[in-house]
Amino acid sequence: MTELKKPDEVALRPHYKAHYHFQFLSAAFRFGLFDILEKEPGTTLTGISERLGLQQQPTRILLLGCTATGLVRKEGDGYHNTPLTQPLGERPGHVPATYIPWETHGIYRAISWFYESLQENSNIGLQREIPGTAPTLYGRLAENPELESTFHTMMSAVTQLVAEDVATELDLSEYRHLLDVGGGAAMNAVHLAREWPDLEITIGDLPSIVPQANDRIAAQGLGHRVRAVSLDAFHDEFPVGHDAVFFAHFLEIWSSDRIRALLAKASRALPSGGGVFVVTPYQYDDETGPERSAYLSAYFHTIASGEGMVYTPKEYEQWFDEAGIEPAKPVQLGPDTVVIRGRKR
């Protein structure tokens, strides 16, 4: 066996010590350390231990972890946020702050079943770590309302990053009524409706999320054009009367067979010339990245569904073609998201 030399050990360290990095971040966030340092930069060890309600030694251990990994900076006796953690204190309802509760309560323990999930070709992480009986994450979220709220807060913040670009980059001027399948808490629908004032939108999602979506729609004064209704995309036919079907951050959760079935269902529900839009993270056609496509694929397999992954744009274009949808040139949004679009022939 080749013995690892020191530089190799150091280079590999971020991989085998990643869980410590996460614990420093997650614990400090849960204790509100970054908020404290946002409001009172330069607070000392004693001040921090009083505010966190912790003994001095545990506080020292937490601060050592945060300082050594660049989450906080020590200057004299005082502690400060760094550029990495400043946004966590400043913008709690946005990315990246919304990721931390979700990674802590939804993913961290469950993803440790990655090995077994690969072996069993099933989402063992969900089955072992998230209470309930439903076979997918979304069904289990309905059984765990607090976790469901954490998920949709994170998801809405993630979607907000691309929703404005989705609404402006897509030309929806010729469509009258769009069906947003798995539209979640209505973040995309609200942006699309604001950008396209003649467009009506129906969101179809599982029943537990419908009230939250309708609350957001009402709060934006869009109730006359946008509504959320209960729809199980696998068991129900899509309602007719729409001239465009929109799937955002949805198809990649599922296997290629299920995606083909969903695209065929969309095609059946549309008139000739109707539009199909798929907003999705993607992996490069040569299957070497990007990194986010790797994280998400592991998450879909181990937790969300046990069957999905992030696919290549080429695969979507082929599935469109098979479903009788003529693919157009994909629209790139940011570094790792794409909109695959087409028209029913």
Ligand X SMILES: C[S@@+](CC[C@H](N)C(=O)[O-])C[C@H]1O[C@@H](n2cnc3c(N)ncnc32)[C@H](O)[C@@H]1O
**CB-wise, 45 or 229, nearer to ligand X?**
229
Nearer to ligand X, 182 or 313 (CB): 182
User: Does the footprint of ligand X cover residue 184 (CB under 6 A)?
Assistant: yes
Contact between 234 and ligand X (CB under 6 A)?
A: yes
- Contact region with ligand X (CB under 6 A), list: 88-96, 182-190, 280-288, 292-300: 182-190
Assess 106 for contact with ligand X (CB under 6 A).
no
Residues 6+ apart with CB under 8 A from 27: 62, 65
Q: Is 337 exposed, middle or buried (0-12, 13-18, 19+ CB in 10 A)?
A: buried
HSE, CB side, 13 Å, CA atoms: give it for residue 7: 0
What CA–CA distance (Å, rounded) separates 342 from 317? 9
List of E strands, 183-296: 200-205, 226-230, 244-248, 275-281
112 within 8 A of 127, measured Cβ to Cβ: no
C-beta closer to ligand X: residue 7 or 131: 131
Task: Give the x/- contact pattern for ligand X in 140-169, rule: CB under 6 A.
Answer: ---------------x---x----------
Distances (CA, A) of 47 to 144, 164, 187, 309, 342: 36, 42, 40, 46, 59
Closest separation in Å from C-beta 228 to ligand X:
10
Report the alpha-carbon distance of residue 303 to residue 293 in Å, rounded: 15
From candidates 89, 101, 125, 182, binder to ligand X by CB under 6 A: 182
Binding of residue 206 to ligand X (CB under 6 A)? yes
According to CB under 6 A, which one of 8, 50, 90, 232 is a site residue for ligand X?
A: 232
Q: Which DSSP category does 83 fall into?
A: T
> Going residue by residue from 242 to 261, which x/- string records binding to ligand X, judged by CB under 6 A?
------xxx-----------
DSSP string, 304-332: I-SS-----HHHHHHHHHHTTEEE---EE
Does 306 interact with ligand X (rule: CB under 6 A)? no
Give the residue with the Cβ less far from ligand X, 66 or 228: 228
Q: How far is the CB of 275 from ligand X (least distance, A)?
A: 17
Q: Does 130 bind ligand X (CB under 6 A)?
A: no
Taking alpha carbons only, the member of 248, 251, 279 closest to residue 263 is: 251
Distances (CA, A) of 8 to 11, 21, 291: 5, 19, 21
Query: Is residue 101 at the binding interface for ligand X, with CB under 6 A as the rule?
Result: no
- Of residues 24, 102, 113, 138, which one binds ligand X by CB under 6 A? 138
Per CB under 6 A, residues contacting ligand X are 138, 155, 159, 182-184, 187-188, 205-206, 209, 231-234, 248-250
